[in-house]
Amino acid sequence: MSQRQVRQWRVGIILGMLLLAGCGSATPTPIVIAPAPTLTPLPPVPAAALATATTVPPTDLPTTVATELTATDLTAANLTTTAEGTATLGTVPATENPTDQPFLMKIDKFSLIVGRGMLLEGRVVHGTLHGNDSVEILGPQNKYLSTSVLAVLISNTARDQVTVGDYAGILVQAMRPSELSPGMVLAASGAFATYEDALQELQ
């Protein structure tokens, strides 16, 4: 063994002895465990204190009364806007059934049937027409022709009546073709004062 190795061996022994001496003289630090906390129950509130509790006074705000509208009410009413922009509820006028209105038909075409009369064709807009009914033909510039119904037809087949939506042929008493023009209207007698009044119903 060389002298260098002897010196290293001696230093190691000395260091080991110092470490052992320090461990023997060290005092361990004690560990203290704190006891678990205990829960203290709250005392009950006396009944007298609850009876004298302060209540919040009601406010003076106005209350809104809501009115229930049934489905029938809604179909019979509408909202009308006033000048101030407030929506108010107004009554909707009842719509008359087209079948219950006076007869009205726009004449699309016409043809003279020799020995029978004048056949007027068009779609019925209002009302119902029967054979032997009195009708009138209205045209521009206050043109007016009074006549009587001889027969009512649908698809060249005689019918007892024609009504709203039917494309009908109305056979009336004979007249000169020059007196007629497409766009004139056939209406129940006395139903419309002028041709313009009848046109408004066709809009």
Does residue 65 lie within any of the structural domains?
Answer: no
DSSP, residue by residue, 29-75: PP-PPPPPP-PPPPPPPPHHHHHTPPPPPPP-PPP-------HHHHH
Does residue 161 lie within any of the structural domains?
Answer: yes
The pLDDT, as a whole number, for residue 16 is 73
| Whole-structure pTM value | 0.53
Does residue 93 lie within any of the structural domains?
Answer: no
The pLDDT, as a whole number, for residue 6 is 72
DSSP state of 166: -
Burial (0-12, 13-18, 19+ Cβ within 10 Å), 101: middle
Does residue 108 lie within any of the structural domains?
Answer: yes
The pLDDT, as a whole number, for residue 169 is 96
d(CA 124, CA 168): 7
Does residue 196 lie within any of the structural domains?
Answer: yes
**Bridge partners of residue 151, in order along the sequence:** 171
DSSP state of 144: E
d(CA 76, CA 118): 45
Q: Do 91 and 120 form a contact (C-beta atoms < 8 A)?
A: no
Backbone φ, ψ for residue 140 (5° rounding): -60, 160
The pLDDT, as a whole number, for residue 83 is 47
Does residue 112 lie within any of the structural domains?
Answer: yes
CATH number at residue 106: 2.40.30.10
Does residue 181 lie within any of the structural domains?
Answer: yes
Distance of CA 133 to CAs 12, 186, 202, Å? 142, 12, 21
Does residue 10 lie within any of the structural domains?
Answer: no
Secondary structure string (H, E, C) spanning 67-82: CCCCHHHHHCEEEEEC
The pLDDT, as a whole number, for residue 8 is 76
The pLDDT, as a whole number, for residue 171 is 96
Query: Domain tally for the chain?
Result: 1
Ordered per-residue pLDDT tens for the chain, 203 residues = 677 777 777 777 877 777 776 655 555 555 555 566 666 666 676 666 555 555 555 555 455 444 454 544 444 445 444 444 544 445 545 567 888 899 999 999 999 999 999 999 999 999 999 988 999 999 998 899 999 999 999 998 999 999 999 999 999 998 999 999 989 999 999 999 999 999 998 87
Domain that holds residue 164: 98-201
The pLDDT, as a whole number, for residue 195 is 93
The pLDDT, as a whole number, for residue 50 is 56
